[in-house]
Structure 1
Amino acid sequence: MTVDSTPLLEARELTKSFDSVRALGGVSLRIPEGEVTALVGDNGAGKSTLVRCLTGVQSPDTGQILFRGEPVRLRSPEDARKMGIETVYQDLALIDDLTVWQNLFLNRELVYPLGIVNRRGMIARSGEIMRELDVDVPSVRTTVRRMSGGQRQSIAIARAVAWGKAMVIMDEPTAALGVRETAAVEKLVRGLRDRGVTVLIISHDLAQVMRICDNVVVLRRGRSVAAHKISEVDGDRLVGLITGAIPGNLEARHVEAATESRTSDSVDAESDSRAAAASGTSEAAS
């Protein structure tokens, strides 16, 4: 994506505080359409809060969110879903005692005109989704409880892709998986990119970020400090950006903003001082 092209989703200077704790202190990021972007940072960097703002779970205190260049207000997760944005959280939100197809269509059941549930249609469509995404499950009629961790993660991703026509956000998609299952999920993510699906991945696995992502955004202490194409960085540099050992390419913006704020405050204080002095002189003269 070129600097001037319009990203699918963009955040501009988002802030969010909880009482006296400032979780986001001016976060900006651009998520290119049809690419895989990673969001990285230490615990407490603001990643989860940012995702909740981007998906309508929480509202930012200040700042702006744009979808395909147009400002939007996300008042609820349903607003994000209507835009085609789906999220796969770490807990997956799958129901163990339901089958694969029932989980895929949970609260989105297909019905005939008279309101009768189209069970056959949902089973058939679920099979198509699994084949399209190359997700290996014994049968869509099998309960999720009988699936491995990797299969469960793939089912959750498949459900998000089935309904998220624009973008899928994944929160630590392989954190609890073994090597083989991780490889399967990474293959699925690459397949989504090949299909033109936009993906945002929150991850602590920097090796994985280097393997499957096109772009990376680094958060530190509630601020976006760096944004790069993956080809511009390596693992060591990412570690340095996350810890602060290496300054990020976006940090100058925060310094300039702080400097402008201090300058403005100084000018205001000086103006107030002059006004007070003038008032005192006027009163003395009278």
Structure 2
Amino acid sequence: MALYRKTEAMTQIPWYYIAAIDQYERNSNDDSSDDDLVSISIPNEQWFGLGNSSMITDSRIISFFNGEGKDGNGDGKADPDQPEDVLYTMANILLTYGQTKDDLKIALWHYYQRDLTVQTIVNTANVFQKLNRIKLTKRDFPLDTNYNYTINNNFGDRRGFGGVRIHEGSDIFADYGTPVKSTTYGVVELKGWNLYGGWRIGIRDINNIYHYYAHLSSYNNDLDVGDVVQPGDVLGKVGSTGYGPPGTSGKFPPHLHYGMYQDNGTKEWTFNPHPYLKRWERMTQSD
């Protein structure tokens, strides 16, 4: 946080955007480690400049070759292995487009050239800004554990409605009206009707994971697309909606379909949420 704040003071780019970029790269870069102070990786050609084949870190040489690497710690070098230099360089890349929220979105798109990446970083920045901290590790079980429910480990099962496909999630069977909660910190990305999922809600978290809650009977009326949520926030209630036009209900027993999708900056894929559900269930019951 101290590094993010320092970068903000030097460039006027809000710290939470810098932190969100770093968080995104940490979760999408295979070479990144939890031990890395900063995970942002700027391509060598962009950092050192074309023609600087020796990758000389002297900031004057980099400038001569039109490289974008900057000296963030005042030692006269622009070193991609120095966290302060990396954050200062990234902030200056953003600054070339301006300082407004729209300017920053444009800068992010030009850097990553991917809409989902831009949206994920902006969402994470909104979470960090609202909560004013970056260490956000709490999780919650998606149903109120004071109610009766049964978790099914049915990820990958065959489904026939709408064509042969696999079941991309785990079903948690419960009575109509059982409160459905956010499992994580994130931003509401989608809310509304889906042919398969009925009344559903999608939340993108700060770890590049999309959480999908389907077959709801109703929503929390105070929740809108773009809202920041925290673990335990009520999203809606269990139902049996879906498999038809808006309003279709009762074609299967009431349950919550819970899915998780990982994004690595290039593609997004579904994975089995059952182990996470069991872990969050134990954590919630022990509190």
TM-score by length of structure 1 reads 0.24
Larger radius of gyration: 1
TM-score by length of structure 2 reads 0.24
Structure of higher RCO (CA pairs closer than 8 Å, 6+ residues apart): 1
More helix by share: 1
